[in-house]
Structure 1
């Protein structure tokens, strides 16, 4: 029997949040970079929410189980 797993809802899946237009502009300005300089995430990545589009900036929050620290990463959707 096959079971379907929804990756976005899995307990080990890091939290993914799309930055709005203002947040994206402020983030890029703060680091003095362009979207092209950000690490990439593919539009068909199963962790992305429906409706997110190419060019969106995604904030990924990964929690370390041992230290409880949260590491924040950013990706641009391609």
Structure 2
């Protein structure tokens, strides 16, 4: 009998912050406000388990909401790369 692999939703893990793909129009605005090129943002590989779970593709920008004991909630952005 074949052993079934258990499915695990990484997005529900308590240590994984909320991730979301930023819509293209909003991504352009964010890049303009930050005064950087998308490639200058920290990278997130398309093969990252969270990137795969949210459907992020190379060229997308991902918004991450992190909890901070001193700042409350911090929003960071990552540029999805294909390698």
TM-score by length of 2: 0.78
After the TM superposition, which segments of 4 or more aligned residues of structure 1 sit over 6 Å from their partners? none
Change (3 A) 1:68 1:25: closer
Unaligned 5+ runs, structure 1: none
Higher helix share: 2
CA distance in 1, matches of 2:55, 2:10: 16
Task: Give 1 or 2 for the bigger CA radius of gyration.
Answer: 2
| Aligned residue-pair number | 76
- 1 CA distance for matches of 2:72 and 2:13? 19
